[in-house]
Amino acid sequence: MTTTHKPTRAEIVRRRRQQERGARFQAVAQQATGGVRPLVSRPRRAAGGLRTIGRRRRWEISSGGDKVLTLPDFDLVEALSRIAGTWRMYSLALVTLLIALLLYLLTERSYYVTSLNLGGASLVPREEIYAASGLAGQHVFWVNPAEVTRKVAAVPGIASATITVTYPARVELVVVERVPRVTLIEGAKKWWVDAAGQKFLSRGDLPGLLPIISESATELEALPPEAVLGALLLKQLRQNIEKLYYDPLHGLSYQDGRGWRGYFGVGADMEKKLAVYEALVEQLMQRGEYPVKISVEDLDAPYYKK
């Protein structure tokens, strides 16, 4: 005797749900496999790419799937050529401007030296200094300060020079002149001599300059500074001295009004030498002797000649 099992309500609900799930699965499977296309391999493309066609280049941007967004054609070579042409135009304009500026600077008369602001000159003529400088008519760009100062310092009577150049063409020159202390006479030539013994061209007669007549067999390059100093001291100690004589062997001398030549050598001890000289003269006068030469060149060995 077979006993029939009657399903419960819960079993009926569970079976129904299983049947519904199976039906949905079969429907999805049929839909997925019903429109399958053959699988074709093709290279992967980046999101954006640059495709070259001849000399032109075209940007293609993938938007997903098979769709490609294509931008308008862009000629890179042509764009670069336009940029290069623009720069060439600007360069040409700049070069033209610089050439025009250079031509202006070279032709503008205000940049040429036509005068000189000169200071410190009193004995040397200003025209002589200006001519020696070589500045007349020179373009201010070509002025060489070192060369100008060298030329000016070579002018007789000029010890040194300082130049200042400002634009457009202002030139200031300050000179330091040699100060003449005595006048040296060599035959028909007259020289001014400064304290250092340097002789330079005499530019006339200056009041108070003591004349010194050279008795050297050859022309002197300069006077020893000791001779200049000794001459100035002798003039200071004996105001009646009108001129002195000089030779390299005996130094300074002068013609005494009492009939002889007095020799004093050189140096700063002229006061002592004069004292010895006057004492020797007094002794000779007391003995009634009249020499032709009295020398105190060496204080330790004064002598006289009849």
- Show pLDDT as tens, one digit a residue, over the chain (306 residues): 455 566 777 777 777 777 777 777 676 566 655 554 554 455 555 444 444 444 555 555 555 555 555 555 556 667 667 777 777 777 877 887 788 766 665 666 667 888 889 999 999 999 999 999 999 888 778 889 999 999 999 999 999 999 998 878 788 999 999 999 999 999 999 999 999 999 999 988 888 899 999 999 999 999 999 999 999 999 999 999 999 999 999 999 999 999 999 999 999 999 999 999 999 999 999 999 989 999 999 999 999 998
What confidence score (pLDDT) does residue 100 get?
Answer: 72
CB atoms near residue 130 (< 10 Å): 19
Look at residues 45, 37, 101, 91 and name the one whose alpha carbon lies nearest to residue 69. 45
Which pLDDT does position 251 carry in this prediction? 97
CA atoms 287, 293, 298, 301: torsion sign: negative
Residue (of 212, 208, 207, 210) closest to 189 by Cα position = 212
pLDDT score at 237: 95
Between CA 69 and CA 63 the distance in angstroms is 7
pLDDT at residue 76, as a whole number: 64
State the distance between the two ends of the chain, measured CA to CA, in whole angstroms. 199
Q: Are 175 and 129 in contact (CB under 8 A)?
A: yes
Residue type, 211: P
Residue pair 254/295 in contact (Cβ under 8 Å)? The answer is no
Structure tokens at 241: 């001295």
- The torsion of the CA quartet 31, 32, 34, 38, rounded to 10 degrees, works out to 160
How many C-alpha atoms does 299 have within 13 Å on its Cβ side?
Answer: 11
- Predicted local distance difference test score (pLDDT) of residue 226: 97
